[in-house]
Amino acid sequence: MSEFGYTDEQKMLAEEIIQLEINALNRWFDGDVSGYRKIWSKTNFSYFDIAKPLRIDSYGEIEPFLDDLEGKLFAENYDFVNPRVQFSNDNQTGILTYQLHAKTNLIDTHYNCIEVFQKENGKWQVIHSCWAAIRPMDWDYSTIKAAALSF
């Protein structure tokens, strides 16, 4: 057993899931949304974000948001803090949680992030994504630019 009580297999799976998320974030903050297009499930997806009052219930509903942000969101760096993956008994589902801090050209972000990964055809896909503001009462919403609220 290792950190968080992982078996050797779970340690490898956790590293794989975390790397998928980091790859998506690296692209995201370089104005390229393709990382999330790749890992978000096209067949079984839901999404919560502070900019939408209701849950988004499909990849088709989130796709216009990705289209709108393509080439518009940039950050020189970001902090990916304290990632942890928890697994189902059969290791076919992994819940990644972490905190994300970034100063972007559109808004400074401070999120508690939850990405629920599930194996689909042998690949890890996110079936639920949640971006919850850390202490939203401390945020200055007057600085949000139009592109961040367009979906």
76 within a domain of the structure (yes/no)? yes
- Residue 132: give its domain's CATH number: 3.10.450.50
What are the helix (H) ranges across the chain?
A: 8-28, 34-39, 59-69
The mean pLDDT of 17-40, rounded to a whole number, is 98
71 within a domain of the structure (yes/no)? yes
1 within a domain of the structure (yes/no)? no
Higher-confidence residue of 149 and 76: namely: 76
41 within a domain of the structure (yes/no)? yes
Percent residues over pLDDT 90 in the chain: 77
Three-state DSSP class for residue 95: strand
3 within a domain of the structure (yes/no)? no
68 within a domain of the structure (yes/no)? yes
Give, as one character, the DSSP assignment of residue 143.
G
84 within a domain of the structure (yes/no)? yes
* Domain with 73 in it: 8-149
How many H-runs (helices) and E-runs (strands) does the chain carry? 3, 5
d(CA 64, CA 66) in angstroms, rounded, equals: 5
- Total domains in the chain come to 1
Q: Which residues, 6 or more positions from 129, have their beta carbon under 8 angstroms from its beta carbon?
A: 40, 45, 46, 47, 48, 113, 114, 115, 116
- Are 46 and 127 in contact, with CB atoms under 8 Å apart? yes
pLDDT per position as a tens digit, 76-113: 999 999 999 999 999 999 999 999 999 999 888 899 99
